[in-house]
Chains A and B, each alone.
Chain A
Amino acid sequence: MVYSAQLFGQDSTMLDLLNNGDDKSPLVEATFKTTRLINGHSVETTDKGVLDFRISHRFAPVDGGFYNLFGLDQASTRFGFEYGLLSNLTLGVGRSSYEKSYDGFIKYKFLSQRIKGFSPITAVWISGMSINTLRWADPNRKNYFSSRLNYFHQLLIAKKVNENFSFQFSPTLVHRNLVQTRDEDNDVLALGIGFRHKLTKRTSINAEYFYAGKESLQPRYKNGLSIGFDIETGGHVFQLHFTNSQAMIEKGFITENTQSWSKGGFMFGFNVSRVFNVKKNVK
């Protein structure tokens, strides 16, 4: 007892010698398990030299009933590749069956949360665009290529509160070059809010809501609400969820949700992410 007490007294002063001058506070890691919360981006970026292959499905609304296997018969899909140019800079491309869209984005994490120190939050800027490649509804009309283009910009702000809980705000601007009616605005402001709560070391429950400025859209479009469950295994993250958004690109799931939760218009969907190490980490 005396021996260990002596040791402890010595140890704390000896440990102090080691900690002298150690003021750089370590980064908070893994605020979320993957680069999407459910539909929207999370503050996570792909590591340097890492390629993330993502496949997403959104089925049809469950109100289709048993005949349609509660929506499973129909699927809207997206697949995409995201590459970490730097640990805080990601370049992504993808293709959705929704309007046969091709999309691309650049994601830059300019502020990282530190355990003790300068920043209490992580902040990321994303800018992206998508191209609708459906054949023109009326080929005899004067159709412009620019009408196919849509853009979005987001500022993601997230905080890892503790080992289990993280939340995020995503103020967003969606710009559609061409809108359906004169009443709709080309620019739509929206606010996304979301959180994740870990259930075990490798699983979590996620929720996300995108509130889009009602004055800018036709009344038939709804806000997007999604609730999901993440499972992480060795190199994969599986995200399973229910959502009322059928599209997996920003202009779709923020400004074009035609389904409504209260009318049974929610659908099952999933995201699968698989990471590949293209370049090795330098030791």
Chain B
Amino acid sequence: MIGIKNLKLAVLSGIALMFLFAFSNKKSDNSDKWLTKTGKITFKSTADEEIITAVSNQAGLVFSQTSGNIVVSIPIKSFIFEKKLMQTHFNENYMESGKYPNATFSGIINKIGTINFGKDTTYDVSCTGQLTMHGQTKPLVIKGTIKISKNANALINCNFDVKLADYKIDRPKLMLKKIAENINITLESDCSKFAKK
């Protein structure tokens, strides 16, 4: 009888401990995270007959200063074109943003340990990771700069090219001279340290 009582107690306290453990784990420490929800992304297509650009000010970027993990996520519908019809075709026919609403990059900022976040300096950095766009995931290495400001700002700037065919974004025959094979993308994001609300 005592044996069973002890067993019940053991199981109950085990469960209680597990709960405590689980809850304390859920509250993950985000004090090492830097983020922005209003990053600016510009893309430019330079083709024989036309130059097309569009801008989004809704790029979300978050990185960890301890692990160097970085995630960038952009809603495709946030790209604004000068010609609204181009924007509609971009979403409806090319990016199919109804099916694939976001483009996401996830990777690691290489040699994050060499960055001193307490000093005003600019560093050249490179990120190795994967870009997922239009339902396709491809490896991508991005080179850029990160400018640290003592007042807790990290300004990230980078520039890279993507090949449309890699992401199964088709250009119809009539558009081959109006839309480039490779698109140049610029990211500018002013990140601040994560603060709990």
Chain A residues within 8 Å of B, Cβ to Cβ = 7, 10-11, 13-15, 17-19, 26, 28-30, 47-50, 87, 163, 201-202, 232-235, 275, 277, 280-283
A235-B88 in contact (CB<8A): no
Q: How far is the CB of A165 from chain B (nearest CB, A)?
A: 12
Please name 9 further chain A to chain B contacts, defined as beta carbons within 8 Å, in addition to the given A10-B67, A18-B37, sorted by A numbering: A11-B71, A15-B73, A26-B101, A29-B98, A163-B96, A163-B99, A275-B85, A281-B84, A283-B55
Convert B90-109 into 0s and 1s, putting 1 for each residue whose CB lies closer than 8 angstroms to a CB of A. Answer: 01110010110100101110
- Known: A11-B69, A163-B98, A281-B83. Is A233-B33 also a contact (CB below 8 A)? no
Pick the contact of B73 from A18, A28, A235 — CB < 8 Å?
A: A18
Bound-state Cα–Cα, A11 to B102, Å: 15
Q: How far is the CB of B196 from chain A (nearest CB, A)?
A: 10
A14-B91 in contact (CB<8A): no
Bound-state Cα–Cα, A275 to B98, Å: 23
Bound-state Cα–Cα, A232 to B60, Å: 33
Bound-state Cα–Cα, A97 to B191, Å: 62
Instruction: List residues of chain B with CB within 8 A of the CB of A87.
Output: 84
Is B175 on the interface with A (CB-CB < 8 A)? yes
B75-A15 in contact (CB<8A): no
Bound-state Cα–Cα, A201 to B93, Å: 6
Determine which residue in A29, A232, A283 has the highest number of CB atoms from chain B within 10 A of its CB, and name it.
Answer: A283
Q: How far is the CB of B83 from chain A (nearest CB, A)?
A: 5
Give 3 nearest A-B pairs by CB, closest first.
A18-B60, A47-B84, A14-B71
Describe B's contact surface by its main secondary structure: mixed
Chain B: how many interface residues by the 8 Å CB criterion? Answer: 40
Pick the contact of A17 from B62, B84, B93, B98 — CB < 8 Å?
A: B62
A29-B71 in contact (CB<8A): no
Instruction: List residues of chain A with CB within 8 A of the CB of B77.
Output: 26, 29
Is B30 on the interface with A (CB-CB < 8 A)? yes
Instruction: List residues of chain A with CB within 8 A of the CB of B67.
Output: 10
Bound-state Cα–Cα, A13 to B88, Å: 32
When C-beta atoms are compared, the residue in chain A nearest to B78 turns out to be A26
